Amino acid sequence: MIPEMLFFNHLQPYNAPNSYKNCSKNDQITDNPGKFADLGNITYCRLKRAYTSRYNKTIQSEETCQSMKVTIYGSGYVGLVTGTCLAEVGNDVLCVDIDRAKIDMLLRGEIPIYEPGLDAMVAKNIASGRLRFTTDAAEGVAHGLFQFIAVGTPPDEDGSADLQYVLAVANSIGEHMSEYRVIVDKSTVPVGTADKVSETVNAALSKRGTDMEFDVVSNPEFLKEGAALDDFMKPDRIVIGTDNPRTTELLRELYAPFNRNHDRLVSMDIRSAELTKYAANAMLATKITFMNELSNLADLLGADIENVRLGIGSDPRIGYHFIYPGCGYGGSCFPKDVQALERTANEIGYKAELLSAVEAVNLRQKQVMFNKISQHFENNLSGKTIALWGLAFKPNTDDMRAAPSRTLMEALWEAGAKVQAYDPEAMDEATRIYGTRADLTLADSPEAALAGADALAVVTEWSAFRSPDFEQLKTRLSQPTIFDGRNLYDPVRLRADGFNYYCIGRP
Ligand SMILES: NC(=O)c1ccc[n+]([C@@H]2O[C@H](COP(=O)([O-])OP(=O)(O)OC[C@H]3O[C@@H](n4cnc5c(N)ncnc54)[C@H](O)[C@@H]3O)[C@@H](O)[C@H]2O)c1
């Protein structure tokens, strides 16, 4: 078989017409759409683009391109960003979510999460007709050649990843599919999940008394909340785990608009792709945790962890990223993914001691702020009011999943203190989580949170908190006391200004 035909056979979806199967490099593909018509959702134009780039031919009449059809299950931080960015580059995207309220909001043009720049991009793509929303799974299965799973994988009771949402999507794909589909797992899932997805789809198909070809691909997502659009539009890498080269080519084509500057696509087997995502998060969590451990040592030894950070970050083998000491990592990924990887190891009889230590040290670190506050007030916090700046687990998001602010607030309440909190974006989320309670006041501004409080605790390093008016701050607090969980301020200056200043790992 000539190599060109091999290439086309890889690109070819199930049940592609014979005329397509027989095409070759010498065919006038750019001038003959009819010959390659009816390729399901692999449109003639996309095929043309793959062909022309593969053979170094000039792409002609790009504007006549039609889009690829993509379905995304889950309209959360990952699904909504993925769907919107795929629509932004011209694809026809349908987002499916089981949360009726979320879909209703999106249909009204409201964005259920805070992610910088997302509202404008969603609005633009809704207006263009390239981005649509539904709760109807059958419609979703009928729509896209690509069926992206971007639903949550929260921790189960024992810390392992709960796959019920992923497998529910797999089941509905099996229930409704009527032609070849590429099922792309973008959720973070343990090694072996692609096999479970395949089994679930096959079980649903055989319940219908039918059999149909489909492929399952692992395509873990590495975007960061707060910079998600940029991360998706200009990814560091695009990991594609598949056992079928045909699907690598399909995904390469779908991701081509994000892969222009140099090839970022890393193709591998499915299990390695699944493990890659956990490896990345566990490595980053380990870096942070290492510095947190060192910060506690620095506290005891009278060293300054900020000097140590600069001293080691300058070594290119270590680097400056992710070595900021603080009050523990939180968020929707690191805590659950470290735990899930450790549980995966347990299940196969391997004791992942490093991962257990990372988890334990981080849980301890999340108590550090409370311990410092409690010690300052001689273990008597009853009746005290603490102003809290920052509820989100990091800046530029409203996500409070596993946020250090929650550990601190809950410990303060337990000890009888009240909290007056402010966050630029996470106030609604705090209300959703905690409702109305007498010991929590959500203030309108950073200044309002300070009014009459006995101390300020800075938990999230939002830029709005980086350079406050310290004179004014002093007058608003009943005592000039700051607990800085992110080392934002200069200890020498604050102490000279008359503050009781506590930070992480600094004298
Ligand atoms: N948040 C991040 O920064 C991030 C980054 C990389 C990877 N991930 C991974 O991506 C996955 C999704 O994370 P997220 O933060 O977007 O979660 P999320 O909780 O924000 O969103 C998940 C969405 O899936 C919906 N859903 C649940 N079951 C469904 C079904 N059967 N059909 C359709 N929709 C369904 C939920 O209603 C929810 O809206 C997780 O596995 C996570 O670990 C997250």
Probe residue for ligand 1, chosen from 73, 75, 77, 193 as the CB with the greatest number of ligand atoms within 8 Å: 77
Is 316 exposed, middle or buried, given 0-12, 13-18 or 19+ CB atoms closer than 10 A?
exposed
Q: Which helix (H) or strand (E) holds 37?
A: none
Task: Tell me the average pLDDT of the chain.
Answer: 90
Looking at the predicted structure, is the pLDDT value of residue 111 above 90? yes
Question: Ligand 1 centre and the CA of 439: distance in Å?
Answer: 31
More confident residue, 286 or 53: 286
List the domains of the chain with CATH numbers. 3-64 (no CATH), 69-268 (3.40.50.720), 278-363 (1.10.1040.10), 366-502 (3.40.50.720)
Res 50: pLDDT = 53
Q: What are phi and psi of 481, to 5 degrees?
A: -130, 130
What integer is the mean pLDDT of 212-236? 97
Whole-number Å distance, alpha carbon 79 to ligand 1 midpoint, is 7
Measured from the Cα of 161, ligand 1's closest atom is 41
The pLDDT, as a whole number, for residue 246 is: 87
Q: Which of 255-264, 387-396, 479-488 has the lowest mean pLDDT?
A: 255-264
Element containing residue 184 per DSSP (H, E): strand 181-185
- Residue 401 Cβ inside 6 Å of ligand 1? The answer reads no
With a cut of 60, say whether residue 477 has pLDDT above it: yes
Residues linked to residue 241 through DSSP beta bridges, in sequence order: 218, 268
Q: What does the pLDDT look like over 306-350, one tens digit per residue?
A: 999 999 999 999 999 999 999 999 999 999 999 999 999 999 999
Predicted confidence (pLDDT) per residue in 253-263, tens digit: 999 999 988 99
For residue 165, the ligand 1 atom closest to its alpha carbon is: 28
pLDDT above 70 as % of the chain: 87
pLDDT at residue 403 greater than cutoff 70: yes
Task: Give the whole-angstrom CA distance, residue 176 versus residue 172.
Answer: 6
Q: Is the pLDDT of residue 286 over 80?
A: yes
Q: How far is the CA of 165 from the centre of ligand 1 (A)?
A: 9
Query: Got the DSSP string for 25-61?
Result: TTS-GGG-GGGG---TTS-HHHHHHHHHHHTTPPPP-
Per the DSSP assignment, residues forming a β-bridge with 440 are 419
Residue 283 has pLDDT above 60, yes or no: yes
Mean pLDDT of 401-430: 98
Q: Contact 474/499 with Cβ under 8 angstroms?
A: yes
Q: Report which of 146, 139, 142 is spatially closest to residue 96, judged by C-alpha positions.
A: 139
Gyration radius (Cα) of the chain, Å: 26
Ligand 1 atom closest to residue 222's alpha carbon, by position in its atom list: 6
Terminal-to-terminal C-alpha distance of the chain = 72
Residue 85 annotated to the active site? no
DSSP state of 68: P
Nearest to 115 by CA among 262, 227, 283: 227
Strands 385-389 and 418-422: what pairing?
parallel
Q: Please state at what angle helix 404-414 crosses helix 368-376, rounded to 10 degrees.
A: 40
Higher local confidence (pLDDT), 53 or 185:
185
| Token digits of residue 440 | 């929590």
pLDDT per position as a tens digit, 165-222? 999 999 999 999 999 999 999 999 999 999 999 999 999 999 999 999 999 999 999 9
Given a cut of 80, whether residue 162 has pLDDT beyond it is yes
Distance 75 CA to ligand 1 centre (A): 7
Residue of higher predicted confidence among 43 and 6? 43
* Cross-sheet strand order for the sheet of 500-502: 440-442, 418-422, 385-389, 455-458, 481-484, 500-502
- Once rounded to an integer, what is the mean pLDDT over residues 137-158? 97
pLDDT above 90: percentage of residues in the chain: 86
CB 95 within 8 A of CB 132: yes
Residue type, 45: C
